[in-house]
Amino acid sequence: MSATAYQSLCQKSREIALLGNTMGVLGWDQETYMPKGGVQYRAKQLAWLSGKVHELSTSSEFQQDLEAAENGTDGKDLIEAANLREFRHQFNRATKLPQSLVERASEAASLAKVAWAESREKSDFTLFAPHLSILLDIAREKADRWGYEDEPYDALLSNYERAAKTSEVAAMFDSVAPELADIAREAVKRSAETPNLIPDTEYPIEQQQQLNREIAEDIGFDFNKGRIDTTTHPFCTGIGPKDTRLTTRYLLNDFTSSLFGVLHEAGHGLYDQGLPEDQHGLPVGDSSSLGIHESQSRLWENHVGRSRPFWSKWLPRAQEIFPQLSKLDLDGFLTSINRAETSFIRVESDEATYDLHILLRFGIEREILNGSIAVNDIPEAWNSRFEKLMGMTPPNDGQGCLQDIHWAMGGLGYFATYTLGNFNAAQLHHRAMQDQKVASAFNQADFIPLLNWMRTHIHNHGCTYLPQDLIERASGQTTTPQYHIDHLKQRYL
Amino acid sequence: MSATAYQSLCQKSREIALLGNTMGVLGWDQETYMPKGGVQYRAKQLAWLSGKVHELSTSSEFQQDLEAAENGTDGKDLIEAANLREFRHQFNRATKLPQSLVERASEAASLAKVAWAESREKSDFTLFAPHLSILLDIAREKADRWGYEDEPYDALLSNYERAAKTSEVAAMFDSVAPELADIAREAVKRSAETPNLIPDTEYPIEQQQQLNREIAEDIGFDFNKGRIDTTTHPFCTGIGPKDTRLTTRYLLNDFTSSLFGVLHEAGHGLYDQGLPEDQHGLPVGDSSSLGIHESQSRLWENHVGRSRPFWSKWLPRAQEIFPQLSKLDLDGFLTSINRAETSFIRVESDEATYDLHILLRFGIEREILNGSIAVNDIPEAWNSRFEKLMGMTPPNDGQGCLQDIHWAMGGLGYFATYTLGNFNAAQLHHRAMQDQKVASAFNQADFIPLLNWMRTHIHNHGCTYLPQDLIERASGQTTTPQYHIDHLKQRYL
């Protein structure tokens, strides 16, 4: 009985995933190749599929199978237990919200995105404020319906980082905030004294693509099961068990921009390509959390891609492709790609200052959700806190509290995962390098043993384990910021 | 009552179309950008969607709405009547076949395609023959279940050319076969005496793309609602009311290959872009038939794209882009692109010989279906008839009866529409040119009035009218081969 209910549940899950992956193709196409005129019809297609996914995910048949499988007396193996845990979590998440709330949230986000875009362009927060108020009300109602232990923010954070507790994340962030600020200040000061030696000349796009592709292949990205395209906002999307697509964007005068973009997205892509294929379409076939996913992108972007061994191999090749680099030596190049500068804009910031942007957002998000900052007071709170962190005040809200799309999409609770990803990346890299084979290969610019370590300890488990269990099994302890701090000190001080 | 049932029917139709268009995106992606590894999962996605389309198209709810709408006492306008006519036709087509037959046909075609590819590669007809026998049995069973007036072939032809009668098509083909053969013979003889003056040198792909795009825009293809990509087998697919995608392929040493490919597919695309948008997702929002669709592709490829006015405008631009053309004069260029040569391969053949390939296939198809040619005797029948038509015998079956994929896909009855398209193209072009504004603009290489004529007389009607009614309304008479004969004589003799 139990085996049958479980199998039936898995079949339903795979059908739902098939529709989700179809949405993935439509979404990818929309960002890459779809002609402008296609946008309205595409929205209808996505709405239909999304409605069908919701219908199938919340059906009484799904519920019956789930209950029967949970109540089955047969011994459940590790994978089966993990799938049931996640089936239950997802089913509760989906069914605790009434359809009217789901629709209200979707409509509010659509309107908010439009208002946000105009608001940001005009640097006029008052255009976005009423929308944000509505989104906050909806977020609070969702949190109430989902339930939480300590504070509403827990319920939202859990959307992105399974089983994370706000208070624990906050304690972790608070514990390193002063040190992060010190490192950033010192790194910026030192960088101001050293010039960027990479010539500000033209790097033809096709040659950038050539270099990026060689590098992505070298770190193990499988182009038989993936590809790289061009979009305004880079992303990685897994749209099938053997189909993982990255995108990047190109600056004609800075080849490192697209390259680090590709390394970042390829880090996500390597994780997707390493997920357990036989579990595709079931929860265990998926990644563990955003904080784990981001650890993989940051690992390849920063710990590999900005390292000395990496460029001892790739600088000569880059010099072949781009003759204007020929006069650069390895030290000068490394100093140039590892400079730190304060920036108003998170997505343009470097490793040394990035986390300060996140800590700012996490704090403000938590306080606007619990009401201790009113929506209309966000610009002032943002600017004064930014001044404290970075020693400068955004000239306008477009370069301040309006810069990110996350809130306009209703994505409260998301930002923390970026810094959790940085912590996890450093911790996993540190642990992997304790394996002598991984370390000695790394130092000879062979990163495949590092990839294999991640395959074994992270990728192949999918979401069998909750994020903190996974990190602990892989590295011996739960997420610990110290490795990231050590890494930043070593890189910048 | 009737209005409500009709509206409900339309809503169902639009939902089915939305899924069909989603299959369109997945299919387009599969041919253009999908990594190799994605193929198996993509097949599953397409199978799910195709099953859902079948389920919705044959549901009892659809049938009830259809019957209620048909029995409604309200006066039906032209559009409503046409939609109901096609709803009924499609519903009967879909429901007269038992599910088991549909699945058998789909499986047989999948296996046949694989066998055909190997069979063609090895030029060994015996590998494909047993599959073709099965496909013929299935085709006969389908024809029996669908019903027909005179002969089973009627039922298959109707799949592609609504309301066409085999005997009438055969009579038309027979009436011009001798003349077509005479023209081809004479054209080939004359071409053998005149050299191809276009240099056999390299034409970089990006520059071919540039020229193709300028030309496609100039004849009215709207790139806000469409695009051009690269595939092995060129095609045009409409995947949304404002999203029409063409593909072509490039030969480095022959820029005219991709260019005429683009003109051909853009002809299809212009038709799609001109269909009545408010009827998208309903039968009337779709094209009238393959023979009408092919008339549009052939019009732009041959009547426009190989004409003197066209190249009087575009040869200078081509010479700017490709300096190796600079010594060519207009006469020499026109003679070179309008040469005729006998070829074993249909898709490589020119205007003068193309229809002979079709007449051969149409005759053999009809006879293998009624059993007067046994499957095993096809190679012999093909070769002896080819010898009679073209004066040469295919050296092997790969270049003979195995060259086309149509039969392996179960597409019996398709070929005739290519030559019907040629007839229609010449007839519509002739009629449009009787409009002085169209003709004088044409002669000054402004083809937009010609496009607008096609919009008014063909595109905008969708399938309001059955193909022969549409042709008659547009040109004053039903499909008449003489205009095509006259066109070929004028071009080649």
Task: Note the pLDDT tens digit of each residue in A276-332.
Answer: 999 999 999 999 999 999 999 999 999 999 999 999 999 999 999 999 999 999 999
Query: In this complex, is the C-beta atom of B223 within 8 Å of any C-beta atom belonging to chain A?
Result: yes
Across the interface, whether the CB atoms of B242 and A49 are under 8 A apart is answered no
* A274, part of any domain: yes
Same domain, B398 and B275: yes
Query: Which listed residue (A265, A301, A351, A365) is catalytic?
Result: A265
- Give contacts of B18 with chain A, Cβ < 8 Å: 44-45, 48
Q: A187 pLDDT band (50/70/90 cuts)?
A: very high
**Which residue, of B95, B130, B159, is where some domain finishes?**
B95
B41/chain A closest Cα distance in angstroms? 6
Q: Which of residues 46-65 of B touch A (CB under 8 A)?
A: 48-49
Question: What is the C-alpha to C-alpha distance for residues B228 and B211, in angstroms, rounded to an integer?
Answer: 12
Same domain, B90 and B147: no
Question: 3-state DSSP call for residue B227?
Answer: strand
B83/chain A closest Cα distance in angstroms? 21
Across the interface, whether the CB atoms of A18 and B226 are under 8 A apart is answered no
* A102, part of any domain: no
Q: Give residue-wise pLDDT tens across range B296-355.
A: 999 999 999 999 999 999 999 999 999 999 999 999 999 999 999 999 999 999 999 999
Phi and psi, residue A340, nearest 5°: -120, 140
- Give contacts of B49 with chain A, Cβ < 8 Å: 22
Across the interface, whether the CB atoms of B224 and A45 are under 8 A apart is answered no
Q: What is the DSSP letter of B405?
A: S
Q: B2 pLDDT band (50/70/90 cuts)?
A: very low
Q: Which domain holds residue A81?
A: 2-95
- Give contacts of B21 with chain A, Cβ < 8 Å: 41, 45
Same domain, B170 and B86: no
Q: B103 pLDDT band (50/70/90 cuts)?
A: confident
Across the interface, whether the CB atoms of B242 and A40 are under 8 A apart is answered yes
* A104, part of any domain: no
Kindly state the greatest CA–CA separation across chain B: 71
Residue A303 among known ligand-binding residues: no
* A63, part of any domain: yes
Contacts 24+ apart (CB under 8 A), A388-393: A389/A181, A389/A356, A389/A359, A389/A360, A390/A184, A390/A342, A390/A353, A390/A356, A391/A185, A391/A342, A392/A342, A392/A344
User: Which among B191, B207, B300, B294 is positioned nearest to B255, based on CA atoms?
Assistant: B207
Exposed e or buried b per residue across A442-451, where buried means at least 16 C-beta atoms within 10 angstroms of its C-beta: beebbbebbb
Cα A224 to chain centroid distance, Å, stands at 24
Place of tokens 């595109």: B459
Size of interface A-B (CB pairs under 8 A): 92
Same domain, B301 and B429: yes
Q: Is the pLDDT of residue B75 over 80?
A: no
Q: Testing the interface with B: which of A242, A245, A279 to mutate, by most B Cβ within 10 A? A: A242
Q: Give residue-wise pLDDT tens across range B442-458.
A: 999 999 999 999 999 99
Q: Testing the interface with A: which of B13, B41, B280 to mutate, by most A Cβ within 10 A? A: B41
Query: In this complex, is the C-beta atom of B44 within 8 Å of any C-beta atom belonging to chain A?
Result: yes
Q: Give residue-wise pLDDT tens across range A4-22.
A: 899 999 999 999 999 999 9
What value does the mean pLDDT of chain B take? 96
For residue A200, the tally of other CB atoms under 10 A from its CB is: 8
* Mean local confidence (pLDDT), B98-114: 90
* B424, part of any domain: yes
* B66, part of any domain: yes
Number of domains in chain A: 2
Q: A2 pLDDT band (50/70/90 cuts)?
A: very low
Smallest CA–CA distance from A18 into chain B, residue: B45
Structure token digits, residue A124: 């006029």
Residue B221 has a pLDDT of: 98
Q: Catalytic residue numbers of B?
A: 265
Q: B262 pLDDT band (50/70/90 cuts)?
A: very high
Across the interface, whether the CB atoms of A18 and B227 are under 8 A apart is answered no
Query: In this complex, is the C-beta atom of B227 within 8 Å of any C-beta atom belonging to chain A?
Result: yes
Same domain, A248 and A204: yes
Residue B490 burial (10 A CB sphere; 0-12, 13-18, 19+) = exposed
Place of tokens 């010190």: A182
Q: A76 pLDDT band (50/70/90 cuts)?
A: confident
Residue A367 among known ligand-binding residues: no
Phi and psi, residue B226, nearest 5°: 180, 175
Question: What is the C-alpha to C-alpha distance for residues A288 and B452, in angstroms, rounded to an integer?
Answer: 56
**Residue among B35, B40, B44 minimizing CB distance to A227:** B35
Give CA separation, B72 vs A70, B66, B85, B465, in Å. 52, 10, 14, 21
Q: What is the DSSP letter of B380?
A: H
B174/chain A closest Cα distance in angstroms? 45
Residue A12 has a pLDDT of: 97
- Give contacts of A277 with chain B, Cβ < 8 Å: none
Same domain, B6 and B81: yes
Sign of CA dihedral B451, B453, B455, B458: negative
Residue B3 has a pLDDT of: 58
3-state SS, chain A, equals CHHHHHHHHHHHHHHHHHHHHHHHHHHHHHHHCCCHHHHHHHHHHHHHHHHHHHHHHCCHHHHHHHHHHHHCCCCCCHHHHHHHHHHHHHHHHHHCCCHHHHHHHHHHHHHHHHHHHHHHHHCCHHHHHHHHHHHHHHHHHHHHHHCCCCCHHHHHHCCCCCCCCHHHHHHHHHHHHHHHHHHHHHHHHHHHHCCCCCCCCCCCHHHHHHHHHHHHHHCCCCHHHEEEEECCCCCEEEEECCEEEEEECCECCEHHHHHHHHHHHHHHHHHHHHCCHHHCCCHHHCCCCHHHHHHHHHHHHHHHCCCHHHHHHHHHHHHHHCHHHCCCCHHHHHHHHCCCCCCCCHHHCCHHHHHHHHHHHHHHHHHHHHCCCCHHHHHHHHHHHHHHHHCCCCCCHHHCCCCCCCHHHCCCCCCHHHHHHHHHHHHHHHHHCCCHHHHHHHHCCCCHHHHHHHHHHCHHHCCCCCHHHHHHHHHCCCCCCHHHHHHHHHHHC
Phi and psi, residue B239, nearest 5°: -115, 20
Query: In this complex, is the C-beta atom of B22 within 8 Å of any C-beta atom belonging to chain A?
Result: yes
Q: Is the pLDDT of residue A211 over 80?
A: yes
* A112, part of any domain: no
In terms of DSSP bridges, do strands A226-230 and A243-248 run parallel, antiparallel, or are they unpaired?
A: parallel
**Which residue, of B95, B112, B146, is where some domain finishes?**
B95
Q: Give residue-wise pLDDT tens across range A380-420.
A: 999 999 999 999 999 999 999 999 999 999 999 999 999 99
Residue B72 has a pLDDT of: 84
Query: In this complex, is the C-beta atom of A223 within 8 Å of any C-beta atom belonging to chain B?
Result: yes
Place of tokens 């009113």: A374
Phi and psi, residue A287, nearest 5°: -75, 165
Q: Which range among A95-109, A196-210, B262-276, B431-445 shows the weakest confidence by mean pLDDT?
A: A95-109
**Whether B49 contacts B30, CB under 8 Å:** no
User: Which among A288, A295, A290 is positioned nearest to A85, based on CA atoms?
Assistant: A288
* B242, part of any domain: yes
Question: What is the C-alpha to C-alpha distance for residues A431 and B370, in angstroms, rounded to an integer?
Answer: 74
- Dihedral in degrees, nearest 10, Cα atoms A93, A95, A97, A98: 170
Query: In this complex, is the C-beta atom of B222 within 8 Å of any C-beta atom belonging to chain A?
Result: yes
Query: In this complex, is the C-beta atom of B42 within 8 Å of any C-beta atom belonging to chain A?
Result: yes
Q: Give residue-wise pLDDT tens across range A165-177.
A: 999 999 999 999 9
**Whether B340 contacts B171, CB under 8 Å:** no
Annotated binding site of B for Zn(2+): 264, 268, 294
Query: In this complex, is the C-beta atom of B23 within 8 Å of any C-beta atom belonging to chain A?
Result: no
Same domain, B81 and B208: no
Q: Give residue-wise pLDDT tens across range B461-476.
A: 999 999 999 999 999 9
The CATH number linked to A184 is 1.10.1370.30
Structure token digits, residue B65: 């709405």
ipTM over 0.85: yes
User: Which among B439, B444, B434 is positioned nearest to B309, based on CA atoms?
Assistant: B444
Q: Is the pLDDT of residue A1 over 60?
A: no
Same domain, B320 and B395: yes
Across the interface, whether the CB atoms of B243 and A35 are under 8 A apart is answered yes
Listing DSSP states for B70-111 in one string gives HH--SPP-HHHHHHHHHHHHHHHHHHSS-HHHHHHHHHHHHH
Residue A72 has a pLDDT of: 84
Residue B1 has a pLDDT of: 44
Across the interface, whether the CB atoms of B222 and A22 are under 8 A apart is answered no
**Whether A20 contacts A52, CB under 8 Å:** no
Same domain, A214 and A78: no
Same domain, A88 and A183: no
Smallest CA–CA distance from B243 into chain A, residue: A38
What value does the mean pLDDT of chain A take? 96
Smallest CA–CA distance from A26 into chain B, residue: B25
Q: Around B158, how many Cα atoms within 13 Å sit in the side-chain half-sphere?
A: 21
Same domain, A366 and A479: yes
Q: Give residue-wise pLDDT tens across range B356-387.
A: 999 999 999 999 999 999 999 999 999 999 99
Question: What is the C-alpha to C-alpha distance for residues A308 and A330, in angstroms, rounded to an integer?
Answer: 8
Question: What is the C-alpha to C-alpha distance for residues B192 and A359, in angstroms, rounded to an integer?
Answer: 78
Q: Is the pLDDT of residue A129 over 50?
A: yes
Smallest CA–CA distance from A47 into chain B, residue: B18
- Give contacts of A216 with chain B, Cβ < 8 Å: none
Same domain, B59 and B198: no
Question: What is the C-alpha to C-alpha distance for residues A190 and A192, in angstroms, rounded to an integer?
Answer: 5
A279/chain B closest Cα distance in angstroms? 14
Across the interface, whether the CB atoms of A45 and B34 are under 8 A apart is answered no
